[in-house]
Amino acid sequence: MTDPATLASSDLVDLLTAICDIESVSGDETALADAVEALLRGQPHLDVHRDGDAVVARTTLGRDRRVVLAGHLDTVPLTDPPNLPTRLTGTGDDRELWGRGTVDMKAGIAVMLALAVELGRPGAEPVADVTYVFYDHEEVEESKSGLGRLARNRPDLLAGDFAVLGEPTSADIEGGCQGTLRVDVRTRGVAAHSARSWRGENAIHAAAPILALLAGYDAAQVEVDGLVYREGLNAVGITGGIAGNVVPDACTVTVNYRFAPSRTLAEAEQHLRELFADHEVVVTDASPAARPGLDDPLAAEFVAAVLARTGGAPKPKFGWTDVARFAELGIPAVNFAPGDPLLAHADDERVRVAELAVCRDALRDWLRGA
């Protein structure tokens, strides 16, 4: 049983260590959610709600703008042997905390918690109201998402003018995210014995134009709100044929399209249907893209605050993240947090702890109007 008081430390490294050492593999977030809830309920300036293993805390200062800081509490499974409890290596600014969740994304959670405790106390009021969203079930199938559940049950709690998601970005702002669409492109033929193949029509051969089109496809680089997104259209699988002596009558090429936020999901699907107009196209998986939203005034102030601390200009996000879920709610969102995204889910997951203070200070400057 973990004592919720362990999260009370104002030192970011101690706080991150305590959060990571409460294991919270997807589906097993209750202990960490309990500790987060207990810490936040102890803050008189926050209005706290619990939904399953998600915790939402809000300031209610009556400001005309509201910022949402959001992050997931769950992690992918531990390694074997387990990469918890955490361990700290190095000295000074080179210190690194190793272990599951340090990057994805408890470093971001630690920064959010520290700000939740600080901002709204007398003498530390933020210039905008702030909503902190800690949710469960991000690292598993979409239907279980705690953020999706909150959006269905309590959309009022997620309302805001701009959101920052604490997915690891090495303390850079990563705006928006690309969408992803997976389709099966099918060809039909006529089955025959391969000894009399002239009596059949070979469906695998009929896939040749599909592959030629993909191999020659010139993927676009698209500028949206000043960020350049690089698209991709790729065959990611192919199936066909039932035996070594049968001309196949069916072949399926699975195609994945990663598209820039300039297209809606419907437009992306339409693009693929036009490209493969001669074939049957079946959508098997689809997630929309999200615009970076950097033209929003709150976002511009955020970019300026981060620029002043790190000198880093915003970049496009190429993967898919929950910023798209905020975009669906009409809330522009970016990713910003400590941790190298390439170390997320890695066996040697670890974070340079100096990045935590950088991210906290940039967010604090912005939210205090410094």
Q: Would you name the residues annotated as active-site residues?
A: 74, 138
How far CA 353 is from CA of 11, 13, 363, in Å, comes to 11, 7, 16
**Considering beta carbons, is residue 107 or 203 the nearer one to Zn ion?**
107
**Considering beta carbons, is residue 46 or 359 the nearer one to Zn ion?**
359
Number of residues that bind Zn ion (CB under 5 A): 3
104 binds Zn ion (CB under 5 A): yes
Stretches 54-62, 101-109, 123-131, 149-157: which one binds Zn ion (CB under 5 A)? 101-109
74 binds Zn ion (CB under 5 A): no
Stretches 165-173, 227-235, 238-246, 287-295: which one binds Zn ion (CB under 5 A)? 165-173
105 binds Zn ion (CB under 5 A): yes
351 binds Zn ion (CB under 5 A): no
CB of 322 to Zn ion, least distance (A): 8
- How many angstroms separate the CA atoms of 356 and 310, rounded? 12
- How many angstroms separate the CA atoms of 202 and 194, rounded? 10
**Considering beta carbons, is residue 101 or 293 the nearer one to Zn ion?**
101
**Considering beta carbons, is residue 167 or 269 the nearer one to Zn ion?**
167
Residues ≥6 apart with Cβ < 8 Å to 160: 66, 67, 68, 131, 331
Stretches 105-113, 158-166, 188-196, 216-224: which one binds Zn ion (CB under 5 A)? 105-113
Percentage helix, strand, coil, to 5, in the chain?
35, 25, 40
x-marked contacts with Zn ion along 166-185 as a string, rule CB under 5 A: -x------------------
Which tokens hold the place of 128? 């905008």
Contact predicate 289/261, CB 8 Å: yes
* DSSP secondary structure code for residue 77 in this structure: P
CB of 167 to Zn ion, least distance (A): 5
How far CA 34 is from CA of 37, 41, 211, in Å, comes to 5, 10, 52
Residues that bind Zn ion (CB under 5 A): 104-105, 167
